[in-house]
Chain A
């Protein structure tokens, strides 16, 4: 739809009546487009993962070993077969393995197989972990992974939300007091964010756990696990304090610095001067003329913070022995549990993309270019 017809219709009809369905359609279209794009991204990412994991021949070896193990166990349980001479058992076993290998298409060319792996990985249908087990004792990769999601979610959601809102409000505050001592202090502190969160984590552990003995070294709850809800929450809070503090320390200053600069640039725009001239309160100017037009970029940058934090959490969780996905990945690496490694990477890709997708939806709701359908640049 060209811009011209849109403007004509807007002139001709009462504004509200036409805009709502149009807006909705545009948002849906945009979200669908982003959804498809992100899905393609995931597929490519996972395919890369599969390729990397497969070129070492690991995935194949695991599968064939699994088949052999399963068939061997099957035969041993069969009374009739156990009576047979060993060479006969061997023959039957080989035969069945061959059938199974054919059934699972392990005899196919690599490209076809890699597509199979891709679908398996995408559905997290990775079979059994080699060594790691879930708390309930299951060896299903899917269950092993699922159990770790809440821990990661709790940690990164708390830290991210805390960071995001503190940074924005602190930045607004500073942009009003631009040039003050506090402002200069924050600018001076901004380079400290080049140091990753786990690094601050080590220092925090050193100070608060090792020297002062006031907070735990790591873990998610104390042992024994508290029975009652409030006690559990208190213990969780106590364990969460240091990792969250590490994440916040890591990105708070650069966050404030970036937003402050950003707000300052926007607050020197003409329409802000105009609003000032009209005599609006500074709060109203901030809300309507600074925050409102800057929301889409804010959301975008939030998405990238999130991407970064999902990955940074791998090491942070390891340092704090936080039983999340990151630590699981570390454990899986240290004992070479390939299905869990691959599953974990796939899951992290999913989580990444899901968060980006959710933010895309928010973006669609916020960005007037999506909502009203701005001119499309050629």
Chain B
């Protein structure tokens, strides 16, 4: 215990190490929070979900905090639902017999100086034989009324205003999310249109033809920003992947590092204690292993067998067992082997395994710690690398897969920088955090470096 405190005191002498420990601690806390707050199955259900989960989310939206720097030019999403009481007005009057009007007025205040990214109207009608009818109008703050067309409404009807060709023609070729919000005084003769702020209204004049028939509507004016991390090309909230990427990256890095260092260490100890053909064999295997193309082998396995992250982890550990670290540890063990206390143990009849595991390995175990810590980022990035090659786990949301999604969808060409930068930032944070601590540990455990 005292040793541990002393060790930490020594570690805090390196300012960078303190920073690194803070980063690692923060990541671990984030990972724990994620596992508790967003259960594994829920995360996977969300991440693999489609329109039914993410339908109301904007596509490729920037994170919301961007508006701190850009001001009002990036609107948030506006969602109006006639099934929720409050801001939506509904009116129903009898016309004749079973025919009734079902008018819905959806007013909303638009304050942004930028345009929305998309507009969708979801209509839901209830009827047995005769479907309700709806005629839609768009009313602007300056009193113009733009007809959006009419339709009969089935159980679920999606009226994609943004890609309605007739509407686009009516708006002189402007796409509706721009044309419906543009100030008519601007935008002529090639100038950039500017949105008009104020109170907009979507008016739906509905008609129902049966006694129990109803008409409901939901208007989604998609913004350009969403949440903490923005959304991707499938409207998914990137936060989900960023959060779940943390425990996965940490677990992968940690397990791979523990697995490969411990096995390497044990094998080096056994080889140098027994010597002879066993030692020679271990040496030869190490040399062969050094020239084996690790990444291509992982790629082959990912392509031919499975992309399951835990299988890949197993292979990574297996390929790391006979790593070059063996040579390093072996030279240390050869020195330890000649020490008097080992000879004493041998003399009182300690078994070979007892000498190896109880006397030799603990002697230089501290040396493991720095190399173990510096190995973690290597494996964290290995997972990311495989994901970037499209060989990431098909189910799990990871940082690398976000980068891969961004890359395959041309995020850098289209200017969706946040999409690449967010997972990159986290990867970098994890990498640097462990590396910085590893460097400090290296200096503590290798006194020869400390003087330099």
Using a CB–CB cutoff of 8 Å, the interface residues on chain A facing chain B are 37-38, 40-42, 44-45, 48-49, 52-53, 55-56, 58, 178, 188, 190-196, 198-199, 202-203, 205-206, 209-210, 217, 260-261, 264-265, 304, 307, 310-312, 314-315, 318-319, 329-330, 333-334, 336, 341-342, 344-345, 348-349, 352-353, 356
Q: Are A198 and B385 in contact (CB under 8 A)?
A: yes
**Binding stretch for chain A, among B157-165, B232-240, B288-296:** B288-296
Interface centre among A195, A336, A345, A356 (most CB of B within 10 A): A195
Cβ of B436 within 8 Å of any chain A Cβ, yes or no, is yes
Q: Are B293 and A348 in contact (CB under 8 A)?
A: yes
A-B contact pairs, 21 of them (CB 8 A): A38-B291, A45-B291, A48-B292, A52-B304, A55-B304, A56-B304, A188-B16, A191-B432, A191-B439, A195-B381, A198-B385, A203-B424, A210-B412, A210-B413, A217-B413, A314-B389, A319-B388, A341-B300, A349-B293, A349-B296, A352-B291
Cβ of B343 within 8 Å of any chain A Cβ, yes or no, is no
A312 to chain B: closest CB distance in Å? 8
Given A48-B297, A203-B424, A194-B389 contact (CB < 8 Å): no
Q: Are B431 and A194 in contact (CB under 8 A)?
A: yes
B329 to chain A: closest CB distance in Å? 17
Q: Are B385 and A333 in contact (CB under 8 A)?
A: no
A193 to B304 Cα, complex, angstroms? 31
Interchain CB contact (< 8 A) of B288 among A44, A49, A315, A336: A44
Besides A194-B377, A315-B388, 5 new A-B residue pairs in contact (Cβ under 8 A), listed by A number: A44-B288, A52-B304, A195-B431, A199-B384, A318-B388
Interchain CB contact (< 8 A) of B291 among A198, A264, A349: A349
Given A38-B291, A190-B439, A333-B389, A205-B296 contact (CB < 8 Å): no
- Nearest A residue to B324 by beta-carbon distance? A304
Interchain CB contact (< 8 A) of A319 among B284, B407, B427, B439: B407
A139 to chain B: closest CB distance in Å? 20
A191 to B293 Cα, complex, angstroms? 25
Interface centre among B284, B324, B435 (most CB of A within 10 A): B435
Q: Are B291 and A353 in contact (CB under 8 A)?
A: yes
Cβ of B303 within 8 Å of any chain A Cβ, yes or no, is yes
- Nearest B residue to A175 by beta-carbon distance? B452
Q: Which size bracket describes the interface of B in this complex?
A: 35 or more
Give every chain A residue within 8 A of B384 (Cβ-Cβ). 199
Cβ of B378 within 8 Å of any chain A Cβ, yes or no, is yes
Interchain CB contact (< 8 A) of A202 among B16, B296, B403: B403
Give every chain A residue within 8 A of B287 (Cβ-Cβ). 37, 41
Interchain CB contact (< 8 A) of B452 among A42, A49, A191, A264: A264
B314 to chain A: closest CB distance in Å? 14
Q: Are B304 and A206 in contact (CB under 8 A)?
A: no
A73 to chain B: closest CB distance in Å? 28
Q: Are A307 and B291 in contact (CB under 8 A)?
A: yes
